[in-house]
Each structure stands twice: as structure tokens, then as C-alpha cells.
């Protein structure tokens, strides 16, 4: 067991044992000795594509920690690096972000306009629609674990769907910390699709996990049940170790060590332990299914969610995020080492679903005194009530998932009431110092997607890219930069993302394959470019008129990987 290339530092010895067993005996490792020749345009397609999405892994975090990585992220940083990748659209949330990565489509085309949007015509009482649910299932609601997970809202095919259409023997497996990550990247045709849950792993209602996934899930559940001692803080993290008071009960963040009680699923998810569990499951499934060992190319999709939970719970610049970055790097390194041992020719792409922004209380300490939290009066319920009372209109008047983004006016209004309500709301919002802009659906509906580089986009370009006429709000609220849309910090939720600003849009885009010469391209590219780029690597034709991205040439020098 000590000889295993996988060092599962945080997982229980039971899971390590299961995965060591699963790692044994591919028969391929013994044949992996010859040196890999340089990848050229004549090199056959890789046997396995590994797509990794790290939730909330901003370009800023990548830049901050790049010099400190020694594991998997160091390897990827030695490959082809686009440090200014863009989740180009305005609604920089998890579901839209993941929907861009393997569809080549902006969220407006993919139909994934936000994590939650509203459909006031839906039959059920809860009009809020979770991006990855099927609201037509009886007895469901969008929150509280009462929804039926579903890919139904995704309007475009994923890379895996296109690979399966070309060759049904292609294997596609998607494993993530969050359901919406696994679903939006996995698409409709994945052979296996699952995510973490307090019970270990789970999938769609009524879909049984495979024996390997069941086994991994049981061991993950056992790991969750175990308490975890505090992690040691590396010397490199010492400068981050400053307590920031949170809430009014004497709590703080910034000096956490990721200790938890047995059974604390929330803290399990906010640690490298969760990412290690996803990676270990992905490796075990690859092994069990012999992915990368057939005649074609298989696709293994990995969604690593812990960085996002750490960012929301403790911000981006505390000891917690430093521990997470070091742990993520290590877990990815162990995962790649395990793939190396199989001898399979695999290619890796890594990006993020959106960036992130630190909590205002720490930003104010770190040379950004203007950082602030949103005014509670901007909450759509509060605003709608005030306007309805003033104009004598029925309530609820206004629906929104928070103080920014898509807002919907009640369907019961007469045209005249609607016009009056919208006018009053726009006047109030546009007079508020934390409001950058309010843009109506009419302003976006006739607008074309920008074809320019995403670092040059204006506000309307960004909002258009996440606008879908049937799903977006009647108007969209944009907060000014560095306003955190959480009115009060509380333990567990102090910082977030979702804005149109570049700290939430910019993400790294990294590509690596053994023998593929690395290069750095600092000009702006987009996450919608990843799908056509990978498709070209495996010789899969893509109709450029049906996507928003373009193929990125991964061969330095005069050769071109885009066919
Ligand atoms: Zn996210």
C-alpha cells in the first residue's frame, strides 16, 4: 500500500485502501517506459481527456499562488497557460460558468442565465427555478434539497454529447462536488454522473450508482463521519493568518485550520478533503471502466468545489484559502501521478466557473478602504414592497434571487401598472450610489453577442452573453464594483462572486499533455474556447455557427492544432 502513487492525505485509510486496490493491475504501467516524443500535428489524439473545473479559482488566486505550487497545478502551469481566461458573461455564478466550459456557448445560448431564475408561469407554488432541476416533477421546490436534479435546462450539447454522437463507445464520466457542476459539464449522454452528498455520492433521482461509485461513496461517507484534526499551517501561509471579526457573536475568519467534528458535511466540503474525494472517485471510475484504454478517446470530467466553499466561508485571502490552494495542488498532483502510472496518453484542461472577490472587511484592512457590503434596501423583496405600497399595487410585486442580477415583475399587473412599477423601480435604483446600471430585457433582446476579445467588452456585451429572452429577468441590476452583495457577514457566508467585474470574470485556462510544448499567452481568451479547442485535439468537427468560442491553437511554432 505504501507503494501506491496516490497519497490520500485527508481521506480515511478505508478509502485509501479501496482506491489502492482499484489502482492495481492495469497492466499498462509496465509498458509506459519509452520517452514520449514531442506532440506535433501528426501525433494521434490522446486516449483520455481530463477536464477539471475548480470552482471560484480566479485568475487572481492562480497568479498569487502560482510560484508556490509544486504539485498538479505546477505541472499544468508548465504547460500551455492562458492567465487571462474569461468567463466573459455578466452573471458570473456557478451554473452559468460551468455551462460554458464544455459547450462552447455563452450562458445566454446555453440557457443557463443564473444559478436561480424565476418562471412566474410555472404551476408549482415556488416560482424560483434552480438551474439544474426539473421543476415539472411533482412535489419539488427550488431550494432545501427539494428539487429533482436535471439537465433539462441546458439547451446545447456538451463535448461529451458530441463525442458520444460520433462514437457511442466513447465513455463520458462526470464527477463533482456540486450537482450543477457535474450536470452542466457532463451533459445528457454521460455514462456516469455524480456529485458529493452527506451520504457520500449521489446522482439523479432513480439513477443507481455503479458498483465502483457505490463503493467510493460508502468510503467517502465514512470519511465524512470521522472528525478531522486541525491542519498545520505552512510557513508560506503565515502572512494570511489574521483574524477578521465576523457577525456580532464574537466569531472570526482568517485563522481557520479546517478542523471539524465527525459528520460535519459543510466543513468537509470546504476543504481539500472534498476535492480529494472527487479526484479519488474519478480515478477509481476511470480504472473500473478502463477509460483511455480503448480505441477512441474518452472524457473524464472533474468538478472541484472546495475552493468555492472556502471562498464563501472565509474569503479569498485568509489562512483557509492558503491551505486550500496548497491542498488542491497536492490532490491534483496525486491524481496526475496516478494517471501517469497507467501509461495512458491523456490531456488535461483546467479552468474555473468564475473568479471571486475577498470579503470587504479584509479588503478594507488590505489597502482597499472603499470595499463595502450592499445596502439591505436593495433586496428585491424590500424594494418591491416599498414600490407596491407607494403605487397601490398587488404584492409580491418583484421577484429576484438577491440584490443584483435578474429581476421579474409580477405577471398579474396590467400593462399600465407594469409600466408605472418599472418606472418607479428604475428611478429608485438608478438614484442609489451602489447601483452601476439597470438594464432592461428590451435593451438586450436585439443585441448580438460580441465577437471582440472579452477584456474589451462593455456592460451590455457582458449582460447579453448571459441573457436568454425566455428566462432572464424583465430587468437586470448591476452593482458598482467592490460592493459585496451580502448585506451582513455571518459565519459560513462572508464573500461571494457573481458580478460583471473582472475579479469575477477572469479565470486561468491551462492545457497540458505529456510531450506538448508549453507556452504562455497573456491575451484574453474565453472559457467558451475550451470546447472547440478540445474537439479539434480529438478531430471532432464542430459547427462554428452553433457555438460562441473558437479553437485555440495548442501547438507552438508554425504548426496548428486547429483543423
Ligand atoms: Zn462556482
* Separation of alpha carbons 473 and 470, rounded Å: 9
Q: Which residue in 8, 561, 552, 547 sits closest to 272, CA to CA?
A: 8
Cα angle 356-360-362, degrees, rounded to a multiple of 5: 95
Ligand 1 centroid–CA 304 distance in Å is: 10
Q: What does each C-alpha distance from 177 to 89, 142, 268, 336, 423 come to in angstroms? A: 23, 19, 11, 19, 42
Cα angle 521-522-528, degrees, rounded to a multiple of 5: 80
Ligand 1 centroid–CA 364 distance in Å is: 24
Q: Is 214 a catalytic residue?
A: no
Furthest-apart CA atoms within the chain: distance in Å: 79
Cα–chain-centroid distance for residue 260? 24
Ligand 1 centroid–CA 392 distance in Å is: 39
Q: Which residue in 283, 251, 382, 345 sits closest to 537, CA to CA?
A: 345
Ligand 1 centroid–CA 98 distance in Å is: 8
Q: Report pLDDT for 33.
A: 58
200-202 and 525-526 strand pairing: unpaired
Q: Report pLDDT for 7.
A: 36
* Separation of alpha carbons 229 and 48, rounded Å: 36
DSSP 241: -
Ligand 1 centroid–CA 283 distance in Å is: 23
* Phi and psi, residue 255, nearest 5°: -120, 20
Ligand 1 centroid–CA 381 distance in Å is: 25
Ligand 1 centroid–CA 196 distance in Å is: 15
Which residues fall within 8 angstroms of residue 1, CB to CB, at 6 or more apart? 16, 17, 20
* Separation of alpha carbons 546 and 103, rounded Å: 10
Q: Report pLDDT for 27.
A: 43
Q: Report pLDDT for 249.
A: 87
* Separation of alpha carbons 279 and 281, rounded Å: 5
* Separation of alpha carbons 85 and 533, rounded Å: 14
Task: Say which residue the cell 499551517 belongs to.
Answer: 233
Q: Which residue in 18, 54, 78 sits closest to 283, CA to CA?
A: 18
Ligand 1 centroid–CA 308 distance in Å is: 6
The residue annotated as part of the active site, out of 92, 94, 212, 297, is: 94
Answer yes or no: are the C-beta atoms of 9 and 323 closer than 8 Å.
no
Ligand 1 centroid–CA 5 distance in Å is: 30
Which residues fall within 8 angstroms of residue 235, CB to CB, at 6 or more apart? none
- What the block records as the C-alpha cell of 528 is 467558451
Which residues partner with 303 through β-bridges? 53, 176
Strands (E), 178-279: 192-197, 200-202, 244-246, 251-253
Ligand 1 centroid–CA 95 distance in Å is: 7
Q: Report pLDDT for 15.
A: 56
Ligand 1 centroid–CA 443 distance in Å is: 27
Ligand 1 centroid–CA 218 distance in Å is: 26
Q: Which residue in 446, 448, 440 sits closest to 465, CA to CA?
A: 448
DSSP 149: B
Q: Report pLDDT for 6.
A: 35
483-484 and 372-373 strand pairing: parallel
Ligand 1 centroid–CA 94 distance in Å is: 3
Ligand 1 centroid–CA 358 distance in Å is: 14
Q: Report pLDDT for 284.
A: 98
Which residues fall within 8 angstroms of residue 218, CB to CB, at 6 or more apart? 200
Q: Which residue in 93, 279, 103 sits closest to 196, CA to CA?
A: 279
Ligand 1 centroid–CA 314 distance in Å is: 15
* Separation of alpha carbons 206 and 215, rounded Å: 18
Taking the CA atoms of 289, 292, 294 and 298 in sequence, report the sign of the dihedral they define. Answer: positive
pLDDT tens digits along 380-424: 999 999 999 999 999 999 999 999 999 999 999 999 999 999 999
Answer yes or no: are the C-beta atoms of 524 and 550 closer than 8 Å.
no
Q: Report pLDDT for 31.
A: 54
Number of H helices, E strands in the chain: 19, 20
Ligand 1 centroid–CA 100 distance in Å is: 12
Cα angle 102-277-282, degrees, rounded to a multiple of 5: 45
250: left (phi over 0), alpha (psi -120 to 50) or beta: left
pLDDT tens digits along 478-531: 999 999 999 998 878 999 999 999 999 999 999 999 999 999 999 999 999 999
Q: Report pLDDT for 297.
A: 98
Helices (H), 226-359: 265-269, 272-289, 306-314, 319-340
DSSP 31: G
469: left (phi over 0), alpha (psi -120 to 50) or beta: alpha
* Separation of alpha carbons 45 and 33, rounded Å: 20
* Phi and psi, residue 129, nearest 5°: -115, 125
Residues of the chain with pLDDT under 70: 1-34
> Can you tell me whether residue 169 is helix, strand or coil?
coil
Amino acid at each position: 500500500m505504501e507503494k501506491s502513487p496516490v497519497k490520500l492525505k485527508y481521506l480515511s485509510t478505508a478509502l485509501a485502501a479501496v482506491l489502492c486496490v482499484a489502482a492495481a493491475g492495469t497492466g499498462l504501467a509496465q509498458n509506459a517506459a519509452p520517452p514520449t516524443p514531442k506532440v506535433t500535428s501528426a501525433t494521434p489524439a490522446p486516449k483520455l481527456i481530463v477536464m477539471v473545473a475548480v470552482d471560484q479559482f480566479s485568475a487572481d488566486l492562480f497568479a498569487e499562488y502560482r510560484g508556490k505550487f509544486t504539485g498538479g497545478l505546477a505541472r499544468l502551469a508548465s504547460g500551455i497557460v492562458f492567465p487571462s481566461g474569461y468567463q466573459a458573461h455578466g452573471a458570473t455564478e456557478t451554473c452559468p460558468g460551468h455551462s460554458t466550459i464544455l459547450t462552447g456557448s455563452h450562458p445566454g445560448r446555453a440557457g443557463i442565465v443564473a444559478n436561480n431564475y424565476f418562471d412566474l408561469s410555472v404551476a408549482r407554488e415556488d416560482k424560483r427555478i434552480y438551474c439544474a432541476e426539473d421543476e415539472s416533477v411533482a412535489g419539488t421546490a427550488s431550494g432545501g434539497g427539494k428539487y429533482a436534479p436535471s439537465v433539462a435546462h441546458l439547451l446545447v450539447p456538451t463535448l461529451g454529447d458530441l463525442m458520444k454522437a460520433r462514437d457511442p463507445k466513447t465513455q463520458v464520466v462526470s464527477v463533482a462536488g456540486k450537482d450543477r457542476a457535474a450536470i452542466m459539464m457532463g451533459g445528457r449522454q454521460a455514462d456516469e454522473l455524480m456529485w458529493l452528498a452527506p451520504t457520500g455520492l449521489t446522482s439523479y433521482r432513480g439513477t443507481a450508482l455503479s458498483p465502483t461509485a457505490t463503493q467510493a461513496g460508502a468510503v467517502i461517507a465514512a470519511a465524512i463521519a470521522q472528525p478531522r484534526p486541525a491542519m498545520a499551517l505552512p510557513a508560506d501561509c503565515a502572512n494570511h493568518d489574521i483574524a477578521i471579526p465576523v457577525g456580532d457573536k464574537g466569531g472570526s475568519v482568517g485563522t481557520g485550520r479546517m478542523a471539524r467534528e465527525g459528520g460535519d458535511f459543510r466543513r468537509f466540503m470546504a476543504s481539500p478533503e472534498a476535492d480529494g474525494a472527487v479526484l479519488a472517485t474519478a480515478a477509481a471510475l476511470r480504472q473500473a471502466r478502463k477509460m483511455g484504454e480503448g480505441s477512441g478517446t474518452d472524457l473524464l470530467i472533474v468538478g472541484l468545489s472546495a475552493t468555492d466553499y472556502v471562498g464563501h466561508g472565509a474569503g479569498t485571502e485568509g489562512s483557509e484559502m492558503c491551505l486550500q490552494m496548497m491542498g488542491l495542488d497536492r490532490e491534483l498532483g496525486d491524481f496526475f501521478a496516478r494517471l501517469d502510472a497507467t501509461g495512458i496518453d491523456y490531456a488535461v484542461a483546467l479552468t474555473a466557473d468564475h473568479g471571486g472577490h475577498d470579503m470587504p472587511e479584509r479588503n478594507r484592512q488590505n489597502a482597499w478602504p472603499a470595499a463595502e457590503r450592499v445596502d439591505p434596501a436593495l433586496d428585491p423583496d424590500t424594494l418591491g414592497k416599498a414600490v407596491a405600497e407607494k403605487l397601490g399595487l398587488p404584492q409580491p410585486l418583484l421577484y429576484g434571487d438577491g440584490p443584483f442580477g435578474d429581476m421579474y415583475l409580477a405577471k398579474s399587473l396590467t400593462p399600465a401598472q407594469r409600466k408605472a412599477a418599472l418606472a418607479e423601480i428604475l428611478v429608485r435604483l438608478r438614484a442609489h450610489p451602489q447601483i452601476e446600471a439597470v438594464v432592461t430585457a428590451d435593451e438586450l433582446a436585439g443585441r448580438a453577442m460580441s465577437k471582440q476579445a472579452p477584456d474589451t467588452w462593455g456592460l451590455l456585451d457582458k449582460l447579453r452573453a448571459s441573457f436568454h429572452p425566455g428566462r432572464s429577468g424583465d430587468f437586470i441590476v448591476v452593482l458598482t464594483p467592490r460592493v459585496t452583495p451580502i448585506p451582513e457577514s455571518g459565519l459560513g457566508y462572508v464573500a461571494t462572486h457573481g458580478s460583471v467585474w473582472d475579479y469575477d470574470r477572469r479565470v486561468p485556462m491551462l492545457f497540458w499533455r505529456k510531450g506538448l510544448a508549453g507556452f504562455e499567452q497573456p491575451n484574453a481568451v474565453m472559457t467558451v474556447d475550451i470546447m472547440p479547442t478540445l474537439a479539434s485535439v480529438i478531430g471532432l468537427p464542430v459547427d462554428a455557427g452553433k457555438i460562441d468560442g473558437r479553437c485555440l491553437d495548442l501547438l507552438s511554432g508554425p504548426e496548428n492544432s486547429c483543423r
